[in-house]
Amino acid sequence: MAGRRASQKRGGAIRHTKRERAGSLFCLNQGRAAGFSLTEMIAVIVIAAILAAVALPRLRAGAFEEVRFHDEAVAMLRYAHRSAVTKQRTVCVGFSGNVITLTYDATYGSASCPGAALRGPDGSEPFVVTAQGAAGFSAAPTSFNFDRVGRPSAAQTLSLNGGFQIVVESETGFVR
């Protein structure tokens, strides 16, 4: 045969006469040092960084608990404000550790706290929100109440773990 042969057949075995070029996947350490190329190392580092940026925050379960507690506490305080206005009664917000409880004074015009347990929107009594896991208050809040027109007895700023804050406006009782 004319030209250069890629392989020669002798005695049933194929013998390659042409060498693979250096850097080829099939070139198994023929005359070069073992290891990874710079391109391969950079690709692995980039993939690892992307996985770390996406996956690690999701593995931190405490963040979910903190957001959940913040959202439940805001919803509960807004419910307390709305209940005070619609029932025309004083609604008391009590704190005990990492638990928030709502009660109300059954007598019109009275402002005694704590009163009877306030039913939750789902009918549960008493309406209580409890922090789970790492969630909770970073500073112990003081109990307060909403009067029958929705004004709080004092402006409140509740500090929660994870850097969250809940603010109850002094004049309007708006919870944010």
What is the DSSP track for 16-55? E-SPPPTT-TT--SSSS--S--HHHHHHHHHHHHHHHHHH
Across all residues in the chain, what is the average pLDDT? 84
- Can you tell me the mean pLDDT for 42-58? 88
- Can you tell me the mean pLDDT for 9-22? 62
Segment (H or E) for 99: strand 99-104
> Mapped to the 3 state alphabet, what secondary structure does 121-166 carry?
CCCCCCCEEECCCCCCECCCCCCEEECCCCCECCCEEEEEHHHCEE
**CA pair distance 150, 78, nearest whole angstrom:** 10
Q: Is the pLDDT of residue 173 over 80?
A: yes
Mapped onto helix, strand or coil, the DSSP state of residue 95 is strand
- Can you tell me the mean pLDDT for 160-165? 90
Q: Is the pLDDT of residue 164 over 80?
A: yes
**CA pair distance 50, 26, nearest whole angstrom:** 30
Burial class (CB in 10 A: 0-12, 13-18, 19+), 159: middle
* Reported confidence tier of residue 3, pLDDT bands at 50, 70, 90: very low
pLDDT of residue 162: 84
**CA pair distance 95, 68, nearest whole angstrom:** 17
Could you give all domains of the chain from N- to C-terminal order, each with its CATH number? 62-168 (3.55.40.10)
pLDDT of residue 11: 60
Please state the length of the chain: 176
- Partner residues linked to 9 by β-bridges: 14
**CA pair distance 64, 22, nearest whole angstrom:** 51
pTM of the model: 0.66
Q: Is the pLDDT of residue 85 over 80?
A: yes
**CA pair distance 41, 46, nearest whole angstrom:** 9
